[in-house]
Amino acid sequence: MSDKYRVMIIDDEQSARNLMRGSIDWESLNMEVVGEAASGIEAINTIDDIRPDIVFVDISMPFMNGIEFTELATTRYPNLVIIIMTAFDQFEYARKCVSLPVFEYMLKPIVRAEVTNTLKRLKSKLDARASVSGEDDVPDEMEESTIEQIKKYIRDYYVDPELNLTSVAQEFGFSSSYLSRKFKSETGKNFVEYLTECRMERAMELAKLSRKMFATSADVGIPDPNYFGRCFKKYTGMTYSEYVAKVHA
């Protein structure tokens, strides 16, 4: 059995993500759900770690909707297969975006048989796709000074919510998988850890000024305050409000 196809579910409703995850027989399709995101912003920040082959994305989400995510993702991840989920009253809006390379537009709430049939068609397409995309081609050896340039680039542009491993790799002319390996070996941290560190260190400075969380999150490149809150607590061990209270105690 070949490796399973990796699926990511992007929807701001937890119940919708749970339904999609739990109602489909992924195993029979040689697929597995490897990650979720509650917004397009969170997806852009985590997609390089999750490395999905297939993405289900809700069209209606705050901060970055499904169409905006798709426009960005298709330029960065040309082999990514995207299925857009939309409520009936937005279906015509979704169909107007047919110029986007989307595999399918599907109505919510999902119908298990329809999703399964779509995935069977998709599996046939993926099975027929050539096995080597070129992602693992080894470029010229990266110089140590290049890593320092990349670190500086991250420090200069971390406020851009669309900054992630793939966008930086494209900027410097490397594949994302190669940059990921080299960045970790040269710095001891993976790319997302370093980017998050830059954002959270600045967030801690802003918290000391009693900035509201939504303002701080936007200022450090994470305009989704829910995702920002999770990042901040993971980094500092406390919520944003707890940190503000502590520094002003």
Q: Which pLDDT tens digit goes with each residue over 183-199?
A: 999 999 999 999 999 99
In a domain, 163, yes or no: yes
* Count of the separate structural domains present in the chain: 2
Domain boundary among 99, 128, 157: 128
pLDDT: is 225 or 140 the higher one? 225
pLDDT-derived band at 140 (thresholds 50, 70, 90) equals low
Place of tokens 């406390």: 238
Residue 139 pLDDT exceeds 60: no
Q: Which pLDDT tens digit goes with each residue over 11-68?
A: 999 999 999 999 999 999 999 999 999 999 999 999 999 999 999 999 999 889 898 9
pLDDT-derived band at 209 (thresholds 50, 70, 90) equals very high
According to the model, what pLDDT value does residue 145 have?
Answer: 87
The C-alpha atoms of residue 40 and residue 59 are separated, in whole angstroms, by 10
Helix (H, G, I), strand (E, B) or coil at 111: coil
pLDDT: is 231 or 125 the higher one? 231
Q: Are residues 28 and 92 in the same domain?
A: yes
According to the model, what pLDDT value does residue 132 have?
Answer: 76
Residue 9 pLDDT exceeds 80: yes
In a domain, 208, yes or no: yes
Report whether 95 contacts 87 (CB < 8 A): no
In a domain, 217, yes or no: yes
- Give the CATH number, domain containing residue 86: 3.40.50.2300
List the Cα angle 133/124/79 in 5-degree steps.
30
Q: Are residues 182 and 95 in the same domain?
A: no
Buried b (16+ CB within 10 A) or exposed e, 6-30: bbbbbbbeeebbebbeeebebeebe
Q: Are residues 9 and 124 in the same domain?
A: yes
According to the model, what pLDDT value does residue 24 have?
Answer: 97
Q: What is the DSSP string of 163-185?
A: --HHHHHHHHT--HHHHHHHHHH
Lowest model confidence (mean pLDDT) among 14-18, 29-33, 107-111, 231-235: 107-111
pLDDT: is 97 or 26 the higher one? 26
pLDDT: is 207 or 93 the higher one? 207
Name the pTM for this structure.
Answer: 0.86
The C-alpha atoms of residue 203 and residue 225 are separated, in whole angstroms, by 12
In a domain, 138, yes or no: no
Mean pLDDT of 124-149: 71
- Residue 206's domain comprises 144-247
In a domain, 137, yes or no: no
